[in-house]
Structure 1
Amino acid sequence: MGENRMADAEHAAQHGRLSAVVTETDGIRVVALAGEIDHHTADTLREALDAAGEPRPRVVADMGQVTFMDSSGINVLITAHGALGEAGGWLRLAAPTGTVKRTLNIVGVDAFIDCRESLSHALDD
């Protein structure tokens, strides 16, 4: 894994209880999330995961600091996974913990969206 560097398009978004910081590492868009993902904050997640216009977009959502996620977040992840796959890219989830990991497992999202135990594992090919 190469050195982590901030992309020119780096930005941070915050809406209520969710922050999203977007960086780039070795051509992979890394979205560091912190807080709660629900119907009030789903648009922040959607915008952070949007890699439209990028050829073969690869996105890692670092979920290690996400404390809660409801069906709104699940829907955003499923939609992003589909859109990135159609563009020849992929979405990986890194370090989901606690109730978020359990939610992903119960709903079955972890069966088709690649979930890795850490950010470094998610960045490995």
Structure 2
Amino acid sequence: METENAYQPEPLTVTSTTTDDATVVAVAGEIDHNTAGPLIQALDLGELGAPPRVVIDMRDVTFMDSSGINVLLTAYRDLTPTGWLRLAGAQNSVMRTVELVGVDMVIPCYPTLTDALAA
């Protein structure tokens, strides 16, 4: 049986830029099991400067499930021995997921990218 209206997740786009002392990883779309690959690649230690200082700009993330939570926690574990990870600008629906599972108690979260970079 074919379904014409089968759900297709919004593709995830990830763009990395470097500021004076941090890498900003801007993410747009849905973070789930099928789309997380580009974010995982962008947070690879080999792709980041030393020490790794990373802000994930989440203002254009429209959905995140447990796969996204796992990506964030793995990145935090990998980056924090010598650097840091911060989240910025998550929409209310995404921030609710982050708060429900307690990620905001582990990874610092900021309302804007400017706030995260200035912290």
For this structure pair, what is the TM-score category when the shorter chain's length is used for normalisation? 0.7 to 0.9
Distance 2:26 2:45 in 1: 15
- How much does 1:48 deviate? 1.2
Asked if residue 64 in structure 1 is aligned to residue 64 in structure 2, the reply is no
CA RMSD of aligned residues (A): 1.5
- How much does 1:43 deviate? 1.3
- How much does 1:54 deviate? 3.4
Distance 2:65 2:85 in 1: 19
* TM-score normalised by L of structure 1: 0.83
Asked if residue 28 in structure 1 is aligned to residue 22 in structure 2, the reply is yes
* TM-score normalised by L of structure 2: 0.87
Give the total of aligned pairs.
110
SS in structure 2 opposite 1:72? helix
Asked if residue 51 in structure 1 is aligned to residue 60 in structure 2, the reply is no
The percentage of counterpart residues that share the same residue type is 53
Distance 2:75 2:33 in 1: 16
Deviates more, 1:20-29 or 1:52-61: 52-61
- How much does 1:17 deviate? 1.1
1:10 maps to what in 2? none
Distance 1:51 1:95 in 2: 23
1:84 maps to what in 2? 79
2:117 pairs with one of 96, 100, 123: 123
Distance 1:19 1:54 in 2: 21
For structure 1, the 5+ residue unaligned runs are 1-15
